[in-house]
Amino acid sequence: MESNTASDKADIDSEREDRYTRPEGEVQDPPNSLLGTIKYLGPSVIISATIVGSGEIILTASLGAMVGYTMLWWVLMSCWSKSILQAELARYVVLSGDTYLRAINRVPGKIRGPRGKFSWPIILGLLAFIPGLTGMGGLVGGAAQAVGLVFPEFEPLWVVGFLAFITALLLGSGSYHRLESIMLVFVLTFTVLTVLSLIFMQDTQYATTVEQVASGFTFEFRTEYAVLALAAYGYTGVNSGEISSYTYWCIEKGYPARIGRYDGSEAWRSRARGWLKVLRTDVWITMGLLTCATIPFYFLGAGVLHASGQRPEGSEAISALSYMFTETLGSWSLWLFALGAFCILYSSTVAAVAAGGRYIPDYLMELGFLSRDRLDVRKNIIKWYGLIVPFLGLSLYAGFQNPVLMVTIAASVAAIMLPVQSGITIYLQSTRLPSEMLPGRAASSFLKFTFLFHLVMAALVIYFVVV
């Protein structure tokens, strides 16, 4: 689209008034140095805590255990193929001032509800919410199993209950800044541990060779493990839930507020371009962190578990995965693996619950049950969500007690949602953003290609998993 009309721009300007997160703070010029940019990063830290979690330590390592190095290309593609969607959806949100659900409620195709009409993607989001909670239960269950590796006398179900209680305490305040500090510690811990474990593996009989790495780019797809591979695709890198939650962390970090309301001025354009540069840096950091944590786990799974015949399945999945460390570093490293696994899975749990709390008031507002002026109610909902949902995760884990299965269910639904998000992002950008703020030709083309790719992957998920 060459240019949006003046009336379109006026609509953007006026509709910023009815967003539910009115920006706090004043308009601010973007930083003009690397150190200044680093000061305003942060959403990448929180989203990395959810990204590098079950998809990596459970699904990616399990895939490596099943197929060896032959699907390295698939893991890398899963890591990198969704970052463009993360960046471009966030572009729309920080420029328009819409929240994620406010944005998808602008899509044509309305459904009549009890309090007025709403767009069809709202229903899809609600349907995907329960599988998302199932995945969260798998995360906290996996964290409890990690604790059980070094404290076998502790019953995993009781550990899950204790972790649910601690999570509720952490999130009861609903504070972004407290969460950001907590996640920073977890992210640094598990990133360092996973990279070090891969380095140490090279001094053992399981060292990765050049030939093995080369075999990972023969583009072989093992159909007998299609369900696991597609689940890894859905949960490796940024999944659909993390892409949407990233936009909420961008809002709470203050990017839309600092850009300010669109007024057509060159000053606004300059601010917008500067803050978009900060946003892109944040996205690049996300991709770098997830790659550094994902590839070591795949290599450990392919190099150690596949070679030794270990298969991470059922309630003993975390115990089987610990073999990656104990076989290469010695029995003492069980503590190291347990710490890393706990940091990864529990930080994912905390960040996932925190993000989920941002959706609920947004849903209520878009469905007409809550006024956008009631910011006090929104804060209370986020608080109570953080207090209650961890115990729902406990209940789901008590029913399944199988982290791999629980995460696979959530990952499959996440993969199905990706083409919906990418298609909506293309529509919103082309119809609702000022033409000078649209992505460049290369980014736009790649986003469209990604939409088609996500569509094919969703069809494969439905075929192999659902049908």
Does any domain span residue 43?
yes
> What CATH number is attached to the domain comprising 311?
1.10.4160.10
DSSP helix/strand/coil, 112: strand
Whether residue 66 lies inside any domain: the answer is yes
Compute the distance between CA of residue 225 and CA of residue 448 in angstroms, rounded to an integer. 28
Task: Tell me how far the alpha carbon of residue 87 is from its chain's centroid.
Answer: 13
Give yes or no for a contact between 413 and 128, defined as CB atoms under 8 angstroms apart. Answer: yes
Structure confidence by residue, pLDDT tens digits, 428-465: 999 999 888 888 888 899 999 999 999 998 898 888 86
Q: Which pLDDT score, from 0 to 100, does residue 354 have?
A: 77
- Pairwise CA distance, residues 150 & 337, whole Å: 10
What digits encode the pLDDT tens for the residues 375-398?
777 778 888 888 888 888 888 888
Q: 40 lies in which domain range?
A: 6-397+425-435
Q: Evaluate whether residue 446 is within a structural domain.
A: no
Higher-confidence position of 196 and 282: 282
C-beta neighbour count of 151 within 10 angstroms? 10
Q: Would residue 238 count as lying in a domain?
A: yes
Mean pLDDT over each residue of the chain, to the nearest integer:
80
Asked if residues 99 and 365 have their Cβ atoms less than 8 Å apart, the reply is no
Token pair listed for 458: 């969703």
Query: For residue 246, is it within any domain?
Result: yes
The answer on pLDDT for 48 being more than 70 is no
Confidence class of residue 175 from pLDDT cuts 50, 70 and 90? low
**Residues 373, 376, 378, 381: what is their CA dihedral angle, to the nearest 10 degrees?**
-150
Neighbours of 285 (CB within 10 A): 18
**Choice between 316 and 40, residue whose per-residue pLDDT is larger:** 40
Provide φ and ψ at 31, rounded to 5°. -70, 150
What CA–CA distance (Å, rounded) separates 131 from 300?
28
CB-neighbour burial class of residue 446 (10 A; exposed 0-12, middle 13-18, buried 19+): middle
Q: How many domains does the chain have?
A: 1
Residue 384 lies in a domain: yes
Q: How many CB atoms lie within 10 A of CB 334?
A: 17
pLDDT digits (tens, 9 = 90+) for 303-344: 888 888 777 765 566 777 787 778 777 777 788 778 777 877
246 falls in which pLDDT band (50, 70, 90)?
confident
| pLDDT score, position 260 | 87
CA-wise closest residue to 239 among 366, 404, 56, 102: 56
Q: Is the pLDDT of residue 120 over 90?
A: yes
- Which pLDDT does position 17 carry in this prediction? 40
* pLDDT reading at 140 higher than 50: yes
Inside any domain, residue 407: no
pLDDT class of 262 with cuts at 50, 70, 90: confident
Listed in sequence order, the residues at least 6 apart from 79 whose beta carbon sits closer than 8 Å to its beta carbon are 236, 237, 287, 290, 291, 294, 295
Per-residue pLDDT, 397: 84
Q: Residue 115 pLDDT more than 90? A: no
pLDDT of residue 234 exceeding 80, the answer is no
Asked whether residue 170 is domain-assigned, the answer is yes
Burial class of residue 194 in the structure, from the number of CB atoms within 10 Å of its CB (0-12 exposed, 13-18 middle, 19+ buried): buried
Here the tokens at position 351 are 């960040």
